[in-house]
Amino acid sequence: MKFNDKLEGDVVILDLTGKIMGGEETTLFHGKIHEYISQNKKNILVDLKKVDWMNSVGLGMLISALTTVKNSGGRLVLANITKIESILTITRLISVFEHFDSREEALKSFAK
Protein backbone atom coordinates (compact mmCIF):
# COMPACT_ATOMS: atom_id res chain seq x y z
CA MET A 1 0.00 0.00 0.00
CA LYS A 2 1.03 3.52 -0.68
CA PHE A 3 -0.79 6.68 0.25
CA ASN A 4 -0.72 10.37 -0.49
CA ASP A 5 -2.28 13.03 1.64
CA LYS A 6 -3.46 16.54 0.93
CA LEU A 7 -5.65 19.18 2.46
CA GLU A 8 -8.67 20.41 0.52
CA GLY A 9 -10.31 23.21 2.48
CA ASP A 10 -10.65 21.80 5.98
CA VAL A 11 -10.80 18.17 4.79
CA VAL A 12 -7.79 15.86 4.86
CA ILE A 13 -7.80 13.55 1.84
CA LEU A 14 -5.84 10.32 2.06
CA ASP A 15 -5.52 8.51 -1.28
CA LEU A 16 -4.65 4.85 -0.77
CA THR A 17 -3.15 2.75 -3.58
CA GLY A 18 -2.39 -0.94 -4.01
CA LYS A 19 -2.94 -3.80 -1.59
CA ILE A 20 -3.63 -3.00 2.06
CA MET A 21 -2.02 -5.80 4.05
CA GLY A 22 -0.36 -4.13 7.02
CA GLY A 23 3.33 -3.52 7.49
CA GLU A 24 5.28 -0.30 7.68
CA GLU A 25 2.78 1.63 5.56
CA THR A 26 0.07 0.95 8.15
CA THR A 27 2.22 2.54 10.83
CA LEU A 28 2.89 5.55 8.59
CA PHE A 29 -0.84 5.84 7.85
CA HIS A 30 -1.66 5.96 11.57
CA GLY A 31 1.12 8.46 12.15
CA LYS A 32 -0.34 10.72 9.46
CA ILE A 33 -3.83 10.50 11.02
CA HIS A 34 -2.40 11.49 14.43
CA GLU A 35 -0.39 14.29 12.85
CA TYR A 36 -3.49 15.87 11.30
CA ILE A 37 -5.52 15.45 14.49
CA SER A 38 -2.79 17.21 16.46
CA GLN A 39 -3.15 20.11 13.97
CA ASN A 40 -6.90 20.11 14.69
CA LYS A 41 -7.64 18.74 11.19
CA LYS A 42 -10.33 16.21 12.07
CA ASN A 43 -12.37 15.85 8.86
CA ILE A 44 -10.78 12.91 7.07
CA LEU A 45 -11.70 11.34 3.75
CA VAL A 46 -10.06 8.04 2.83
CA ASP A 47 -10.28 7.48 -0.93
CA LEU A 48 -10.03 3.78 -1.81
CA LYS A 49 -10.43 4.14 -5.59
CA LYS A 50 -6.96 2.76 -6.33
CA VAL A 51 -7.00 -0.02 -3.73
CA ASP A 52 -6.86 -3.45 -5.36
CA TRP A 53 -7.29 -5.65 -2.33
CA MET A 54 -7.46 -5.59 1.46
CA ASN A 55 -6.97 -8.24 4.14
CA SER A 56 -8.06 -8.29 7.79
CA VAL A 57 -5.04 -6.21 8.82
CA GLY A 58 -6.16 -3.55 6.35
CA LEU A 59 -9.64 -3.62 7.84
CA GLY A 60 -8.09 -3.25 11.28
CA MET A 61 -6.14 -0.24 10.05
CA LEU A 62 -9.35 1.46 8.88
CA ILE A 63 -11.21 0.59 12.09
CA SER A 64 -8.35 1.95 14.18
CA ALA A 65 -8.28 5.16 12.12
CA LEU A 66 -12.05 5.56 12.51
CA THR A 67 -11.82 5.07 16.27
CA THR A 68 -8.93 7.53 16.60
CA VAL A 69 -10.74 10.20 14.59
CA LYS A 70 -14.08 9.70 16.38
CA ASN A 71 -12.41 9.81 19.80
CA SER A 72 -10.86 13.16 18.89
CA GLY A 73 -14.28 14.54 17.93
CA GLY A 74 -13.70 14.24 14.21
CA ARG A 75 -15.27 12.46 11.27
CA LEU A 76 -13.76 9.87 8.92
CA VAL A 77 -15.53 8.81 5.72
CA LEU A 78 -14.65 6.40 2.93
CA ALA A 79 -15.00 7.07 -0.79
CA ASN A 80 -14.88 4.70 -3.76
CA ILE A 81 -15.24 1.45 -1.81
CA THR A 82 -16.27 -0.63 -4.85
CA LYS A 83 -13.27 -3.00 -4.78
CA ILE A 84 -13.51 -3.69 -1.04
CA GLU A 85 -17.29 -3.45 -0.64
CA SER A 86 -17.69 -7.23 -0.42
CA ILE A 87 -15.25 -7.57 2.49
CA LEU A 88 -16.96 -4.67 4.28
CA THR A 89 -20.34 -6.33 3.71
CA ILE A 90 -19.24 -9.81 4.80
CA THR A 91 -17.71 -8.44 8.01
CA ARG A 92 -20.74 -6.18 8.53
CA LEU A 93 -18.44 -3.18 8.73
CA ILE A 94 -20.31 -1.56 5.85
CA SER A 95 -22.72 -0.17 8.46
CA VAL A 96 -19.88 1.08 10.68
CA PHE A 97 -18.22 3.25 8.05
CA GLU A 98 -19.85 6.26 6.48
CA HIS A 99 -19.16 5.76 2.78
CA PHE A 100 -19.80 7.48 -0.53
CA ASP A 101 -19.63 6.41 -4.17
CA SER A 102 -17.29 9.23 -5.13
CA ARG A 103 -14.80 11.64 -3.66
CA GLU A 104 -17.01 14.54 -4.72
CA GLU A 105 -20.01 13.19 -2.75
CA ALA A 106 -17.83 12.58 0.28
CA LEU A 107 -16.41 16.12 0.15
CA LYS A 108 -19.92 17.58 -0.15
CA SER A 109 -20.94 15.69 3.00
CA PHE A 110 -18.45 17.74 5.03
CA ALA A 111 -20.03 20.98 3.84
CA LYS A 112 -23.33 20.18 5.51
Which DSSP state fits 91?
A: T
Q: How many domains does the chain have?
A: 1
* Measured distance CA(98)–CA(47) in Å, rounded: 12
What domain range is 77 assigned to?
2-111
pLDDT band at 16 (very low <50, low <70, confident <90, very high): very high
pTM for this one?
A: 0.94
The domain that holds 79 is classified in CATH as 3.30.750.24
For 32-55, what is each residue's pLDDT tens digit? 999 999 999 999 999 999 999 999
